[in-house]
Amino acid sequence: AQSVAQPEDQVNVAEGNPLTVKCTYSVSGNPYLFWYVQYPNRGLQFLLKYITGDNLVKGSYGFEAEFNKSQTSFHLKKPSALVSDSALYFCAVRDQAGTALIFGKGTTLSVSS
Amino acid sequence: EPEVTQTPSHQVTQMGQEVILRCVPISNHLYFYWYRQILGQKVEFLVSFYNNEISEKSEIFDDQFSVERPDGSNFTLKIRSTKLEDSAMYFCASSENRQGGSPLHFGNGTRLTVT
């Protein structure tokens, strides 16, 4: 069965600094990987995905993620954080046979001005 | 941009009662899902639905739960005999197809409070 680990409950970064939110996964076969963001009292909003191809994928709002097959990781990154990036971030994985996305426990990103 | 809409936004019910949560998926999407989130924490998969059948379900989705698409537009989650621990945020989602890279699009959720 597939699973996702987000080792950090919270990441704190100053505005303008680069940010990284970590994610590792376990899945049979090739993974489909996703990042979502959740603002308070809202649903999950799709940011980006990895299917195949380039290991660096770009998504919404300046976010990008780096797929590393040997480390089974899919870390979310942004070169320069904004206060408005403060939210709850979820990594998710789907295997080739399934329909469901399986989510990690989430990481709260706090960007200070 | 098309959206998944959920009603009601907040539902309060007494323990033992039945509730129905409603969702209108994005119109050209074929796969539908229910997830729940307790206290803003982990998002847990409940069930996926395609072609009027359940495609996958988790261990959480026991006989207390059921889903249906009664009229070709609404997608509902029924919880029979609610328990206190069913209190959570319930999210509906839809995707265009089951291709692995097809992302899920989520509604804003229904907050269920069981008293």
Residue A104 contacts B where some CB pair is shorter than 8 Å: yes
Asked whether residue B23 carries a pLDDT value surpassing 80, the answer given is yes
Q: Is A108 on the interface with B (CB under 8 A)?
A: no
Predicted local confidence at residue A28, as pLDDT: 86
Residues of B within 8 A of A42 (CB-CB) are 108-109
Residue A30: per-residue pLDDT = 86
A97 has pLDDT over 80: no
What pLDDT was estimated at residue B65? 98
Q: What is the pLDDT of residues A64-92, one digit of tens each?
A: 999 999 999 999 999 999 999 999 999 99
Vertex B66 angle, CA A98 and A4, to 5° = 35
Range A19-35 average pLDDT: 94
Q: Is A84 helix (H, G, I), strand (E, B) or coil?
A: helix
Kindly report, residue by residue over B45-74, the tens digit of the pLDDT.
999 999 999 999 999 999 999 999 988 789
Q: Indicate which of B1, B104, B105 best probes the interface with A, i.e. most A CBs within 10 Å of its own CB.
A: B104
- Kindly list the distances between the CA atom of residue B31 and the CA atoms of A37, A79, A83, A98, A111, in Å, as whole numbers in the listed order: 21, 35, 35, 12, 35
Q: Which residues of B fall within a CB distance of 8 Å from A105?
A: 41-42
Report the alpha-carbon distance of residue B12 to residue B113 in Å, rounded. Answer: 5
- Pairs of CB atoms within 8 A across A/B: 58
- Are A19 and A109 spatial neighbours (Cβ–Cβ below 8 Å)? yes
Are A43 and B4 an interchain contact pair (Cβ–Cβ within 8 Å)?
yes
Asked if the Cβ–Cβ distance from A44 to B108 is below 8 Å, we say: no
% chain B with pLDDT above 90: 82
Distance from CA of A47 to the nearest CA of B (A): 10
Residue B11's SS3 state is strand
A43/B107 touch (CB, cutoff 8 Å), yes or no: yes
Are residues B49 and B112 in contact, defined by beta-carbon separation less than 8 angstroms?
no
Report the chain A residue with the minimal C-alpha distance to residue B92.
A43
